[in-house]
Structure 1
Amino acid sequence: MKLLHRIPTFSAVALASALALSPLTALSAETLRLSAIEPPTSTVVAFANAFSARVRQYSQDSIDIKVYPSSQLGDWVEVHEQVMEGTIDLALQPLSNSFNEVLALQWFPYAALDFESGRDAFSEGGVVHEIINEALAEQDIKILGAFVSGMGGIVYTRPAPAPRDPNASQGLKIRVWPGGTTHQELLKRLGYQTAPIPWSDLYTAMQTGVVDGAIGATPELVMNNFADIAKMWVQNNDHFEVSFLAVNKGRFDSLSREQQQAIRRAATELSAERFATAEQEHEKFLQQMRDKGIEVVELDKSELESVARVVRADVWPKIEDEIGAINMARLKLSLGIR
């Protein structure tokens, strides 16, 4: 009887000691869901998996982040809404402007001209990062970090006649994403016709000739999705492609201080690492295009600056309403534009 009496007493003491020594324990483990729109083999999903692993390490196994690639939890607009509502905890993707037009700033044409200016604008403290974070605060969403996919361009199933000339009539129809007002106006100014087509229908539309190409892509996205039908890629740096690591603020605030610190640390580290290697990765996929037989047209610095001047002068006034006059003024100030 004495032995039986001592067993629970010892167990209680041991358990109390373990809890005192380890503030982040399996007893307080949290499972979070992270949605990504890219396939499992993509660098975006590799980033998401690395984030999950580091958070587990830094939180002493108290947080388990499960990654769902390939839009398993819904398309990017649906996922954005579910992160707002808290039914999905985290997402690594572009943010939908369906709920706030200001978020169109993330792909605003020529808000950044190259990787250096993109890093300045989209890193924490940068003008784009700050404006977007302010807009997301109204949606109960917080930005933790960013994955740079690369500089944007246009992919074609048949060659453009004068892709370096912003004043030429190209005679081609290019897909924009539904609601992509910024790039509808951009393409019109650059001499193209446009057609809004959902992502899920884009491959077939390009394959069957409904459209002659698409804007809003990066070299990696093309190689992952259109390598067998792409004939030309024009690297015109029309936008800086970023997938934001976003979390539902209420869910984040419900975690312990130590768990929040673990998440912030992992996100900050990985974002910095990706910014440092993004340009090299971008060049790697451009070379894969060439190796595949896709014609790659790269605008040089003077050509990029020429196109940017045209777009900022002629297109920005038409799309200013997307982000508002105050935010436009902040963007121009950051770029030294009067």
Structure 2
Amino acid sequence: MIKTLSTFALAAGTALAFSMSAAGAETLRLATDSGAEGSPTAESMEQWANLIEEGTDGELEVDIFYQNELGGQQEVFDLFVAGDVDMMINWPMTSYDQRIAIVYTPYMVFTWEEAKEAYRPGGWINGMMDGIYQDIGLKFFGAWPEGFNGVATKDEYATTVEEAGDLKVRVPPIFPMAETVQAMGYETATIDWSEVFTAIETGVVDGDAANVIYWDYEYFRDTLDYYVRTKQAFNTGIISMNLQTWENLSDAHQQVVQDAAVTVMEDHFEAAQEIDQSYVEKAEEAGMTYIEPEEEEIKALAEKVRAEVWPQMEEEVGSEIMDTVRENASEL
């Protein structure tokens, strides 16, 4: 990821401003790496902030920073781990601990019901993520679900490995995104979210292969023609807090922050599937062609991807975690 010196200077200056302001006020800084004002992410951030402020009678205030206001995905996550951002709803980066990649393990679940069971409080994925996040200095609250992702392209599309060979698509700089999409037959280019539009417009890539349909509709509907719901991953952001910030809160304030986070998670699990379907309809109205591969096609993709990518996952996250995945993942 190439960034200018001015971007890094802005991030450093912001961090300094944070440390100075935090000394004189009980203000929490809540950020996201993906979601402008008015987006579903922004609405959940605002809900979390309002619940905290109301629950503490204003003793805690929350400043919100939307997509790109503090830098790119990795830059904002760096600020978060350093404690210059206190809370996030974000797509977790694996740079500090590759075990975080567990949430990106391809073809673990195939239905919303299976996903809810895995990510609910006490669910098998939630249990693993809590310990992993603590190890890098973060407090894990829960998932912020979006839904099953797919591949959005222009001019042509693919539902099989053989058809995908003619297409080059964008993946984010997160393991095992590239490995998964390559196993599906595509050529890939690793590109930060802030640079995807330009990459598609200039023909560097033929589309985007990481997101639920909301993002491809919202940002690329005038450029991309097809959205194929290949379901290689159940996309979910993570609701979390810097662990030092958490530990510095009073017991009463901790309870409010945690209860508010769980409320946001539960509310969004209820709303996310409907939101996702609404954007399918909007995309079709805008002229995009929405395609759901046949069950046999999804199964063929899943078998190939699991065979190629799960062993790579084991090398990165360890056999204990992958044994848990194998024990709990949906049957093909």
Range into which the TM-score falls when normalised by the shorter chain: 0.7 to 0.9
Where in structure 2 are the equivalents of 1:273-288 lying within 5 Å? 273-288=267-282
Cα contact 1:207–1:229 (8 A) shared by 2:
yes
Per the alignment, residue 283 of structure 2 pairs with 289
Question: How many Å apart are 1:336 and its aligned residue?
Answer: 6.4
Match of 1:31 among 27, 30, 46: 27
Moved more, 93-102 or 118-127: 118-127
Contact 1:174 1:212 in 2 (8 A): yes
Unaligned runs of 5+ in 1: 1-27
**What is the alpha-carbon distance in structure 2 between the residues aligned to residue 296 and residue 159 of structure 1?**
12
Please name the residue that 1:55 is paired with. 52
Give the structure 1 partner of residue 172 of structure 2.
177
Alpha-carbon distance between aligned partners in 1 of 2:94 and 2:72, rounded to the nearest angstrom: 14
Encode CA deviations 1:139-164: one digit per residue, 9 max, x unaligned: 1101123221221111112212xx22
Query: RMSD value over aligned CA atoms?
Result: 2.0
Match of 1:112 among 92, 109, 112: 109
Cα distance between partner residues in 1 of 2:100 and 2:54:
33
SS in 2 for 1:201: helix
Code of the residue aligned with 1:108 in structure 2: it is T
Q: 1:73, CA displacement in angstroms?
A: 1.9
Matched, 1:86 2:83: yes
Letter of the structure 1 residue corresponding to residue 328 of structure 2: S
Could you say if the C-alpha distance between residues 336 and 237 of structure 1 is closer, same or farther in structure 2, counting changes exceeding 3 Å?
A: closer
Quick one: which amino acid aligns to residue 116 of structure 2? R
For the residue of structure 2 that corresponds to 1:217, the secondary structure is coil
Quick check: 1:261 aligned with 2:258? no
Q: Distance in 2 between matches of 1:57 and 1:125?
A: 27
Q: Percent identity?
A: 24
Q: Residues 260-293 of structure 1: CA distance to partner in whole angstroms, max 9, x if unpaired?
A: 1111111111211111121111100011110010
Aligned-partner residue type, residue 32 of structure 1: L
Shift of 1:310: 2.6
Offset at 1:300? 4.2
Query: Number of residues paired by the alignment?
Result: 308
CA distance in 2, matches of 1:130, 1:167: 38
Q: Given the alignment, which residue of 58, 61, 65 partners 1:64? A: 61
- Supply the distance in 2 between the matched residues of 1:226 and 1:186 (Cα, whole angstroms): 22
TM-score of the two chains, using structure 2 as the length reference:
0.87
Question: Residue 45 of structure 1 aligns with which residue?
Answer: 42
Query: Which stretch shows the higher mean deviation, 144-153 or 271-280?
Result: 144-153
Q: How does 1:90-169 map to 2 (within 5 A)?
A: 90-160=87-157, 163-169=158-164
In the alignment, residue 36 of structure 1 is paired with which amino acid?
A: T
| Contact preservation (8 Å) 1:111, 1:239 | yes
Larger radius of gyration: 1
- Structure 2, unpaired ranges of 5+: 1-23
Q: State how far apart, in whole Å, the 1-side matches of 2:177 and 2:214 are.
A: 20
